[in-house]
A and B are shown apart, each in its own frame.
Chain A
Amino acid sequence: MNFHAVRAIYLFELARSRRTLFQSIASPVLSTTLYFVVFGAAIGSRMQPINGVSYGAFIVPGLILLSVLTESVSNASFGIYLPRFTGTIYEILSAPISAFEVLLGFVGAAATKSMILGTIIFLTAQLFVSFDLVHPLWALGFLALISITFALFGFILGLWADGFEKLQIIPLMVISPLTFLGGTFYSIDMLPPLWRKAALFNPIVYLIDAFRWTFFDFASVRPLTSLTMTLAMLVACVAVVVWIFRTGYRLRS
């Protein structure tokens, strides 16, 4: 195991977000704050509590994930796309480092950033609403699992993309809408039966539902089912990554 190399990539990636601190941390925190102000404080005060939880508190887990999902994908995809685009990837390809170690560096750094971001949004939310965290260890576990899964997905995206447009289109046009429709602002139990059934095809529903369960101890889908779905997504991403490295797809001609 080339620990020096994993460390080098990991630190390089974290340094990259230090250079782009506003984009990586400040901007998601600002947009989340706006959601709290609008939906939590302004509109939320007119809404009835859901399962005994105030609306402002109810949306917290979903809002954390909204940022964590998009940032995991963006960070990891930019992390690997940028060296491909600028040509500096030659150094990684010529280094005595395995595909797994490359992945560990890039995905590890992206997931770390997402978890830091999630924690910052969690703390920011505390300023606006009071809420419990019933299963803190599960919350941390889910956050880690989700961050890693979506960082892996971002890594795949960064390899697949052949332009900056494709990099931005997936978080913007796929992840963001699915997260909105995945129950960030409502419980899927509030939907008409047909729509509720349709929502179950949205994988992000399970993530938000499980994450919300760790906060408030209630769920629309059984937490174990959600955990299985999350793990399945992780396995799917790992499988694609393994295939990429086996074939050298978009890395080695």
Chain B
Amino acid sequence: MESVLTIQKLTKTYDNGFVALKGVDLAIRRGEIFALLGPNGAGKTTLIGIVCGLVRASSGKVTVDGFDIAENYRAARRKIGLVPQELSVNVFETVWDSVTFSRGLFGKASDPAHLEKVLRALSLWDKKDSAIRALSGGMKRRVLIAKALAHEPEILFLDEPTAGVDVELRRDMWAMVRNLRENGVTIILTTHYIEEAEDMADRIAVINKGDIILVEDKHKLMRRLGQTRVRIALTAKLEKIPDGLFDRPLTLSPDGTCLAFTQMGESDARDDSLARLLKTLVARGIDFSSVQSTQSSLEDIFIDLVGKSR
């Protein structure tokens, strides 16, 4: 699929000697929702900062829809909208003035109809004449999103967009993100809520200590690295696992009352091993009282990956 953003051998060393990025390569596909995960200080915000023009790269190349961000910064930046992590907004302005300013700043002629559409989509329309200081934190976050969308960007960066945001706003925000994607906008988000990436993203990258340690389609990742642990509680104690009971590694708890095995892949993968085992147990007259299965989440995968790269 066509890349809308290409990052090649990108490095960043800050003046104090801190190496934030160690040669990052990344290609973002047009129209996808891409989640960038990583612990604090991994380089997420530096990476976004370089692409958006806030931070200077030490070396490497970034192109946005074919435009180099250094040589052709105007064309590149026009395509990008950024929702920063901090609630940085001039609180003395009205919502309307603030979004009008943003649109102008990105070189677009005024278009009240578009701004109205954006504000309505974010439930900000009835607040358009309010000074931003009078709004709640969640509403300020919406204003930041509205500002980023004011110039109709093709790529939207959301840096920790749901940090400190209530459930309702999070739901609204993800509905809006899906809607934007349907309209062809590419979305790149960083988040601490890994379940969000699990729900929303098409592809996932994990960054740690300035290195991208993984980029993969979310479902493939879950299939490849996801696990389901199945435990079967027995009504009577077993001395040992009967021969030929199961064609997979099976474990028996020390007290002999629990059989367990691990299924690889996503939970809904077409794997009938559990059913086969249960049928065998019934056939051999081994009675059981309960069956429990626990899936590993993206969070477990993430913790595992980051732990290994330490």
Residues of A within 8 A of B (CB): 2, 4-5, 7-9, 11-12, 15-16, 19, 83, 86-88, 90-98, 248, 252-253
Q: Which of A16, A19, A90 has the most CB of B within 10 A?
A: A90
Contacts A4-B107, A96-B75, A96-B77: A15 and B84 contacting too (C-beta < 8 A)? no
Could you jot down 11 A-B contacts, CB within 8 Å? Answer: A2-B107, A7-B104, A11-B101, A86-B88, A87-B84, A91-B82, A93-B52, A94-B53, A94-B80, A96-B77, A253-B55
| Beta-carbon contact of A95 and B105 below 8 Å | yes
Residues of B within 8 A of A (CB): 14-15, 52-56, 73-78, 80, 82, 84, 86, 88-90, 92-93, 97, 100-109, 147
| Beta-carbon contact of A12 and B101 below 8 Å | yes
Q: Chain A residues with Cβ under 8 A from B106's Cβ?
A: 4-5, 95-96
Contacts A5-B105, A8-B104, A88-B88: A94 and B75 contacting too (C-beta < 8 A)? no
Q: Which of A96, A98, A248 has the most CB of B within 10 A?
A: A96
| Beta-carbon contact of A96 and B78 below 8 Å | yes
Instruction: In the A-B complex, list the 7 residue pairs whose CB atoms are closest, starting with the nearest.
Output: A8-B104, A87-B88, A96-B74, A96-B77, A94-B52, A2-B107, A95-B105
Contacts A15-B97, A90-B88, A253-B14: A96 and B102 contacting too (C-beta < 8 A)? no
The answer, among A19, A94, A253, for a CB contact under 8 Å with B92, is A19
| Beta-carbon contact of B15 and A91 below 8 Å | no
Q: Chain A residues with Cβ under 8 A from B55's Cβ?
A: 252-253
Per the bound structure, the CA–CA distance linking A5 and B74 in Å amounts to: 12
| Beta-carbon contact of B77 and A95 below 8 Å | yes
| Beta-carbon contact of B80 and A2 below 8 Å | no
Per the bound structure, the CA–CA distance linking A94 and B73 in Å amounts to: 9
| Beta-carbon contact of B104 and A93 below 8 Å | no
**Chain B residue nearest in CB terms to A16:** B92
Distance between A91 CB and nearest chain B CB, rounded to angstroms? 6
| Beta-carbon contact of A253 and B15 below 8 Å | yes
Contacts A90-B82, A94-B52, A96-B78: A4 and B147 contacting too (C-beta < 8 A)? no
Q: Chain A residues with Cβ under 8 A from B97's Cβ?
A: 12, 15
Per the bound structure, the CA–CA distance linking A87 and B14 in Å amounts to: 19
| Beta-carbon contact of B54 and A252 below 8 Å | yes
Q: Chain B residues with Cβ under 8 A from A12's Cβ?
A: 93, 97, 101
| Beta-carbon contact of B88 and A4 below 8 Å | no
| Beta-carbon contact of B90 and A4 below 8 Å | no
Per the bound structure, the CA–CA distance linking A11 and B110 in Å amounts to: 14
| Beta-carbon contact of A9 and B105 below 8 Å | yes
Contacts A94-B54, A96-B75, A248-B56: A5 and B14 contacting too (C-beta < 8 A)? no
Q: Chain B residues with Cβ under 8 A from A11's Cβ?
A: 101, 104
| Beta-carbon contact of B104 and A4 below 8 Å | yes
Per the bound structure, the CA–CA distance linking A86 and B55 in Å amounts to: 17
Per the bound structure, the CA–CA distance linking A69 and B101 in Å amounts to: 28
Q: Chain A residues with Cβ under 8 A from B109's Cβ?
A: 4
Per the bound structure, the CA–CA distance linking A15 and B93 in Å amounts to: 9
Q: Chain A residues with Cβ under 8 A from B86's Cβ?
A: 87
Distance between B103 CB and nearest chain A CB, rounded to angstroms? 8
Q: Chain B residues with Cβ under 8 A from A98's Cβ?
A: 74
Per the bound structure, the CA–CA distance linking A97 and B97 in Å amounts to: 19
Q: Chain B residues with Cβ under 8 A from A94's Cβ?
A: 52-54, 77, 80, 82
Distance between B5 CB and nearest chain A CB, rounded to angstroms? 14
Contacts A87-B88, A96-B73: A4 and B108 contacting too (C-beta < 8 A)? yes
